[in-house]
Structure 1
Amino acid sequence: MEFLQQNWYWAALAVASGSWLLFDFARAQGDKSQVSPIEATLLINREEAIVIDIRDQAEYARGHIPNARHIPQADLERRSAELAKFKDRPLIVYCFTGARSSAAIATLRKAGFEKLFNLRGGLVEWEKAGQPVSRKRK
Structure 2
Amino acid sequence: MSQFIINNWMLFLAFFVVLVLLLHEPISQMVYKIRKVSPLEVPKLTSRDSAVVVDVCETKEYKLGHIPKSINIPLSRLSQDIEQLKKYREKPIILSCRSGNRSIKAAVTLRRNGFETVYSLSGGLLAWEKENLPVER
Q: Name 1:61's counterpart in structure 2.
A: 63
Q: 1:93 deviation in Å? A: 0.2
Structure 2: segments with no counterpart, 5+ residues: 1-18
Give matches, 1:59-138, under 5 Å: 59-135=61-137
Q: Do the aligned partners of 2:34 and 2:120 also contact (CA within 8 Å) in 1?
A: no
For the aligned residue pairs, the C-alpha RMSD in angstroms reads 2.1
User: Are the structure 2 counterparts of residues 52 and 32 from structure 1 closer, same or farther at C-alpha, using a change threshold of 3 Å?
Assistant: closer
Q: Secondary structure at the match of 2:132?
A: coil
**TM-score normalised according to structure 1 size:** 0.74
Query: Displacement, 1:45?
Result: 1.1
Amino acid at match of 2:119: F
**TM-score normalised per structure 2:** 0.75
**Where does the alignment leave 5 or more consecutive residues of structure 1 unmatched?**
1-19
In 1, Cα distance between the equivalents of 2:44 and 2:82? 24
Aligned partners of 1:39 and 1:82: how far apart in 2? 25
**Aligned residues between the structures:** 111
Which digits, 9 at most, give the CA deviation of each residue in 1:65-112, with x for residues without a partner?
Answer: 001000000110111111111111100001101011100100111111
Percent of aligned pairs with the same residue? 39
User: Does the CA-based 8 Å contact 2:38-2:121 persist in structure 1?
Assistant: yes
Q: Distance in 1 between matches of 2:115 and 2:38?
A: 20
Give the residue type in structure 2 aligned to 1:53.
D
Cross-structure match for 1:38: 40
Structure whose alpha-carbon radius of gyration is higher: 1
Return closer, same or farther for 1:85/1:134 CA change in 2, 3 Å cut-off: same
Moved over 3 A (4+): none
